[in-house]
Structure 1
Amino acid sequence: MRLSVLDQSVACAGRGQDAAIRQTVALAEHCERFGYARFWLSEHHSLPTIVGTAPEVLMAAIAARTARIRIGSAGVMLPHYSAFKVAEQFRVLDALAPGRIDLGVGRAPGADHRTSLLLNPDPRAADHFPQQVRELHAWVMGEDLPEGHAGRGIHAHPRAATAPQLWMLGSSGYGAQLAGHFGMPYSFAHFITDGEGCADALELYRHMFRPGLVERPLANVCVWALAADSEEEAWRLFASRERARVDRQTGRFGPLLPPEEAARPYTEAEEAFRRNLRSRAMVGTGEQVVQKLRALAESLEIEELVVITWTWDAQAQRRSYELIAQAAGLPAA
């Protein structure tokens, strides 16, 4: 089983949001030492919980501090931007870290409607997503666009012997179908849906797949997991994430709370959601978590899982990735 990392630069109560950005860079260095294959970064806007707003900037900082691990966006919310500008940014990143850059793109806004309109005033921007993906691929790979296209003869620089690997991200059947149609690698956001629709999306992707960017279906799944030195400690740390997930159901967003401050009275519906969340959670010792991860990978017939972990304590987050890597037998540097 191949393991990778997704980090979202989560804000934590009692610390400045800028600390979350620096902790993400430190975490990337840590995960490289413990043998993870990729380190991906998400994009969200005007959200007090997740403050990673510019993955391409963070990727440059991480590229300067690492030597082996692949670095990627998970992802760039393409409808907000010019595909040509995104291609240029990622060609620069590939020049900084040749052959180590993943360009994950998604259609979701990663923001509320008002914020989305500030990023791109066109309310129908997402309708052009498939065309943007085609353009982005051509510019990233140094291929020309079709006759009659306004961008024909225009090239994204710097050009080199390597190029970013394009990924389609999704949490529904739409992205799966598009990834299959274009022959792209596909990543399903299991942590967003708590697994709902994951198996169906992967099946749809494989069914729709035709050779394109890759010759055969290539998929991974982003899943939430947390390990600690004891099962009791892992569940204690999980209280911060648990509170954030329950709050999100009713539109409450804020910095991640310490475990000791996370408890609050829940309504009957919230309590039912909390119990369901716990029953599915990949929480425990390193060995327990890896056992659950392996079972998921086998059931979905995939070779790679991308692990996302939220903890209020940055050291606990780093320890979680360390324990999972050791239990999985990853090749530490």
Structure 2
Amino acid sequence: MISPERSSSQSPRSPAGAPFLSISVTDPVRMGTGVQAYISYRVITRTNLPEFEGPEKIVIRRYSDFEWLHDRLAERYKGVFIPPLPEKNAVEKFRFSKEFIELRRQALDLFVNRIASHPELKQSDVLRTFLQADEEIMDRARSYETGIFKKPADFLQIFKDVQSKVSDVVLGKEKPVEESTPEYEKLKNYIFELENHLTEAQKQAYRLVKRHRELGQSLADFGKAIKLLGACEGDLMEKVFSEVGSKSEMLSIKLQREADNLLFNFEEPLKDYVRAIQSIKATMLDRANAFRQHFDLDQERKYKELNLEKLKFMNPEKYAEAESEFREASCCNFSLRNS
């Protein structure tokens, strides 16, 4: 079963005076009806850290609140590994099943405790807002900060920009720039290979769980059928068929339990590893984008230096003024690269 990763320094049972931050995601409850239905969770925070409002705080959160926390951290902490969220399930049939709800609760509990155990992320005011703000404040924060790209035209423009950028690279108009050192390339290849292996292992785990469930259901159906058949026969055959049916139903129950065990202790951890790899790749993308920005700034600097040298010979009167502006812009670019 997935269990939150909590260090001993984050437990209320730590030695007196030792700082701790313990978070529990509990009591999932279905709220609303129809397409507006969702699951709410009680998020319980216990801590002795002075930046928090008190030793214990209980708030109600829904999945979109956890998404808000993840996205705000990803925006503010570029290049830092942000723990992954469990994926959504839009299929109504499975979205509110007990099994799915419990798997998601465990994954959300793991998500917030990973953040709480991170030396940088746990100090974020975003995390404190998530853990302490009342529902009204949380709703306002979520609506305000997720409303940046509400218009369909905004999404269309983003898509066009990405499409144009990809086309430029494919057609050779712009060559992709990315840091390439032996150590980084080795790490990147390892991450990609690991993702492939974990994804394949997760697929096999899914098939194994599915096979156990199907076999269990088949044995349950067989047990019921053989009992009905026995009821149509004489006393002796009825007893034999009834025993066979009972054994089949017992095996069915064992297989279903084994399927649950495989799901919680094998398939779900593998899915969590795959999500973690995807988060690592997102961090690597942030790194690549930062390197690209650095490269563009450096190219711009070189271009301006060239123009400045031309100006030195062609228009000496404007050279001093242009040189001063260039030095000032160079200092700004240096500050931007190191911020």
Q: Which has the larger radius of gyration?
A: 2
Between Structure 1 and Structure 2, the one with more helix by share is 2
Q: Which has the higher contact order (CA 8 A, sep 6+)?
A: 1
Do both proteins adopt the same fold according to a TM-score greater than 0.5, normalized to the shorter chain?
Answer: no
TM-score bucket (shorter structure):
under 0.3
